[in-house]
Amino acid sequence: MNSTQVASLYVGLNIALLVVLAVRVMMHRRSAKVSVGDGGNDTLTLRIRTHGNASEHVPAFMIGLFMTAVMGSSAMLVHVLGASFTAGRLLHAAGLSASVMAARALGMLLTWVPMLVIAGLLVWQGLF
């Protein structure tokens, strides 16, 4: 696999995660009969935030991951960054959904560290 193929793998996995989280919101909206907002339903609020948090982090990272692959990063580096970010997103979603603070905190760490590495790589690759 070349680095753009590897990046494509993680883009696909993270898009699937966004869809799963969105479906969880939609299913609970239907069962709670809430079409807009959260209707004061704590479970719906939590599902909305879980999806929202992923929606805030996934797009920027996926663009960055693909860009760094196109700019010549190795397939192994793209795998490490993509896998750690994806694991972080899964841990964060599970931790937030079940109110498990350790999983949520580790998930954010595994989200932010790869994001910062990608940011640094892109700045470096853009300058040199």
Model confidence pLDDT, tens digit, residues 85-105: 999 999 999 998 888 999 999
**Is 107 in contact with 92 (CB distance < 8 Å)?**
yes
Query: In the predicted model, what is the mean pLDDT of the chain?
Result: 95
What digits encode the pLDDT tens for the residues 15-34?
A: 999 999 999 999 999 999 98
Q: Average pLDDT in the 61-82 region?
A: 97
Q: What is the CATH number of the domain that holds 85?
A: 1.20.120.550
Please answer whether residues 29 and 21 qualify as being in contact, where contact means their C-beta atoms are separated by less than 8 angstroms.
no
Of 50, 67, 34, 66, which Cα lies nearest the Cα of 107? Answer: 50
Q: In the chain, how many domains are there?
A: 1
The dihedral through the CA atoms of 115, 121, 122, 123 has a sign that is positive
For the chain, percent of residues with pLDDT exceeding 90: 92
Task: Report the alpha-carbon distance of residue 86 to residue 84 in Å, rounded.
Answer: 5
The whole domain housing 108 covers 3-127
Please tell me whether residue 101 adopts helix, strand or coil conformation.
Answer: helix
Output the pTM of the full model: 0.93
Judge whether 119 and 73 are in contact, CB under 8 Å: no
* Structure tokens, 75: 């397939």
Q: What is the pLDDT of residue 15?
A: 98
